[in-house]
Amino acid sequence: MSAILLALLPFVFVGAVLLMSRALVKPRAPAAQAEEPTCGKCGYIVRGIAGWTCPECGSDLREVGIVAPGLRKALGTPARLGIWALVATAPALILGAVGASYLAPWDVTSTRNRAIFIQSPAVNAVIHVEQEGRQRVMGRPAHNHPLPPQTMTLSLRNVQTSDDMTVDLASGAARFADATGKVVTGTLDTAFVAAWLNANGVNGPTQHAADVLAAVDDMKSNGGGGFRNFSPNAARGNQPDVVAHPASSPFVVPSPTAITPFLPFVLAAMLWLSGLPLVLRRRGSTRRVVWGRVESPRDANQA
């Protein structure tokens, strides 16, 4: 559904309310028409009475009106409210659900992964790279779009004791804890990756750290869709020491916020309540004819 159609839904609902209010307020001719003018409240025949007070219920006829012969008075407030509840509740819930699908807030997480293998005569390590982006979006249509990665985590998978490296991709700031628990901070570069590997017992040439960093940068440019081979080793028949598996496609997961489940009902209630003033309002005033009510007992006697 386009944004234009979504914006028009409340106006369509209000238009339906106006039509419904006219149908509920305007009296219809009954099958058997009344032959005498009656009190607008209790239905007592007021032809020939003196003054503006109904002898039956004591109501001021200028307030409750006089129903002219051939017509019946409009539906009362409880009847109109009951009909409105039956007629408008289901459409309001439907429109509330449709509106919430475009307006409800969702917390979206977008992740992509890559496995990097270091396989040489001296080193055998597997590094799992996960890049993640988080953002609050409005409506389900935004769920289909991956988010730019904001943070990255590098984990050694085949080392008994190791600490993950966490990286803020916007600034390049990186940190990890060494074997003594000391937090090491710095900027993501070849030297820092080598220090992280060495701190976790993965000792090898600095070129391995440079290859790991190259595989990470390959993900950053969305060019990591295929296998990448690094550092061919002549002693192993030019087999690469570092192999990066294909980077996964971004995996988008939306999570509802605290108000997301309730928004359809809130919108439905707002739409339903917006129609009450139109449905329950009284037409005219005490000094005017209101849907078949005449001005006074004299007018009723002349009707």
Shared domain check, 249 and 266: no
Based on the fold, state whether residues 36 and 121 are members of the same structural domain.
no
Q: Which residues contact 236 (CB under 8 A, 6 or more apart)?
A: 120, 121
pLDDT at 1: 47
| pLDDT (mean) for 55-60 | 89
- Residue 126 reports pLDDT greater than 50: yes
Domain termination site, one of 241, 256, 271: 256
List the one residue out of 66, 162, 150 whose CA is nearest residue 111.
Answer: 150
Check whether residue 186 and residue 163 sit in a common domain: yes
Residue-averaged pLDDT of the chain: 78
Same domain? For 215 and 153 the reply is yes
Report the alpha-carbon distance of residue 296 to residue 89 in Å, rounded: 39
Q: Are both 153 and 165 inside the same structural domain? A: yes
Single pTM value for the model: 0.63
Q: Do 83 and 47 have their domain in common?
A: yes
pLDDT of residue 196 exceeding 60, the answer is yes
Find the range with the poorest average confidence among 82-86, 141-145, 164-168, 256-260: 141-145
- Residues 208, 162, single domain; the answer is yes
Q: Residue 221: is its pLDDT beyond 90?
A: no
Least confident of 20-29, 68-77, 176-185: 20-29
- At 139 the pLDDT is 82
* Statement: residue 206 has pLDDT above 60: yes
For the sheet with 66-67, list strands across it. 38-39, 66-67, 293-294
* 166 shares a domain with 119: yes
Residues 143 and 193 reside in one and the same domain: yes
φ and ψ at residue 16, rounded to 5 degrees: -65, -35
Question: Which range of residues forms the domain containing residue 56?
Answer: 3-103+260-302
The count of structural domains within the chain is 2
User: Does 167 share its domain with 290?
Assistant: no
Looking at residue 244, its amino acid is A
Tell me, yes or no, whether 185 and 295 share the same domain.
no
113 and 93 share one domain:
no
